[in-house]
Structure formats: structure tokens, C-alpha cells
């Protein structure tokens, strides 16, 4: 029974980038995040950890065990209202799998994504960029706080801020490192227990560059190898 609930989470290892409701202008920056021209005052080019322009894409090398695939995430330019919040629509296409939708939101320094797995819609609050290093937050995984009737939540924590991170030989600066624990309370008297851990590395002005996860003993890494900010 526990494995059934958690299988939904294992399929969400491809969770990627949340985006702001109003798309920032990234004109003047190349794919390495290097300034080409001086950004306009107040333009906000570097103010977001997750750019939102239509056609922006990220390509990831996804490794689970001995198997390695490619996953491509593309922003469609469309928007969807979920629980009163405006999300940006994206598509995810992984090797050998059908294209899947995803929904990304950012507001008031809170970054979340919503995706459906095994018929269950889950929301991950994976970054609060105002949280101090070592501090944490708690959020429900679903609107009613339950997955198939079982209480479920996530606990997030800021591990590192403003660090440098090298991913597949490419160096990134101004990186946030967050860690998310997925917890269930199976009503067996032990309270909430951790059943999965995600480590996210998010580069300012670029988005998610790496995800490392372990869910029910399955370890997966997702590392960026190409992207374009439109």
C-alpha cells in the first residue's frame, strides 16, 4: 500500500522550473547567463530564479540506476488557473515516454509546480527565496492535504545560498540549494514519516539545473546539458 502511494512521487523526479506570472525580459543574456548588453533599469532580468518566456526550454540528462534518458521541458506560453493561482503551462518529453503537461507558478518569492501522477494532482513548494539558510517551511502536497486519504505534506529547507555549481562541465553562479522531504502519516501511531527526498539546485536567471532524488529506495539525478531563454 505504501509503495502505491509513493509511486506517484517517483514519477515526478522530472519536476522542473517554476515561472513568474509576468515573463521577465532576458534580452542581452546568452545561454550561459553572461551579460551581452547592459540590462534596462528595473527590467528584472536577473530577479527571478525561473524565467517564463514562451518557447524557453531546458534539456536534462536523467539517470535512474544504470539507465540514462533525455528530458526536454518547454514553456508553451499558455496559462492555467489552479486553485485560484495563475500557472504557466509547460510540456515534458522524456525518452520513450509520451509528452506530459506541467504547471509552474511563482509569486511573493514562492515557487511551486503542480503535476498529476497516478491520477493524483500534487503541488511542490520547492523554493522560498527569502528563507534563510537552515530555515524551513511546511506545505500540503494536495489541496486537502491528503493523498488517497492519507495525510501527506512536504518539508522544505534552504541548504545553501548564492553558491557556484558545476553541472556536466558547465559552471553556474548564484545558485540556491533546497531540500524537500516528502512525508506521509499512515495513521499507525508514528505520525509523519519521510518517504522521499529531493535536492534542487536552482540558478538565478536560468532555472533548475539539477535535481537529485531518492524515493522508496530509487535514486534519480536530472542534470541540465542545454537550454535557451527566449
pTM of the model: 0.79
* Residue 83 near residue 64 (C-beta atoms within 8 A): no
Distances (CA, A) of 59 to 145, 173, 219: 32, 19, 19
Which portions of the chain are predicted below pLDDT 50? 1-45
In this prediction, residue 221 carries a pLDDT of 92
Per-residue pLDDT tens for 78-96? Answer: 999 887 888 889 998 888 8
CATH number where 59 lies: 2.40.360
pLDDT for 24 = 33
The sign one gets for the Cα dihedral 27, 28, 34, 38 is negative
Which domain range does residue 151 map to?
Answer: 2-228
Q: How many domains are contained in the chain?
A: 1
Amino acid at each position: 500500500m505504501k509503495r502505491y502511494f509513493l509511486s506517484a512521487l517517483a514519477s515526478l523526479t522530472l519536476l522542473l522550473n517554476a515561472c513568474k506570472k509576468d515573463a521577465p525580459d532576458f534580452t542581452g543574456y546568452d545561454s550561459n547567463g553572461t551579460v551581452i548588453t547592459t540590462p534596462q533599469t528595473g527590467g528584472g532580468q536577473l530577479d527571478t530564479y525561473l524565467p517564463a518566456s514562451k518557447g524557453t526550454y531546458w534539456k536534462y540528462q536523467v539517470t535512474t540506476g544504470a539507465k540514462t534518458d533525455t528530458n526536454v521541458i518547454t514553456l508553451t506560453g499558455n496559462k492555467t488557473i489552479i486553485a485560484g493561482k495563475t500557472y504557466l503551462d509547460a510540456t515534458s518529453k522524456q525518452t520513450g515516454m509520451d509528452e506530459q503537461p506541467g504547471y509552474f507558478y511563482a509569486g511573493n518569492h514562492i515557487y511551486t509546480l503542480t503535476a498529476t501522477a497516478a491520477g493524483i494532482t500534487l503541488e511542490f513548494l520547492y523554493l522560498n527565496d527569502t528563507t534563510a539558510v537552515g530555515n524551513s517551511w511546511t506545505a500540503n502536497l494536495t489541496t486537502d492535504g491528503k493523498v488517497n486519504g492519507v495525510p501527506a505534506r512536504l518539508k522544505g529547507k534552504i541548504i545553501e545560498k548564492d553558491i557556484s555549481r558545476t553541472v556536466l562541465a558547465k559552471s553556474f553562479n548564484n545558485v540556491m540549494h533546497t531540500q524537500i522531504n516528502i512525508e506521509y502519516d499512515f495513521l499507525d501511531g508514528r505520525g509523519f514519516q519521510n518517504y522521499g527526498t529531493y535536492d534542487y539546485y536552482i540558478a538565478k536567471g536560468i532555472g533548475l539545473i539539477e535535481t537529485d532524488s531518492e524515493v522508496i529506495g530509487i535514486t534519480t539525478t536530472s542534470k541540465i546539458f542545454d537550454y535557451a531563454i527566449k
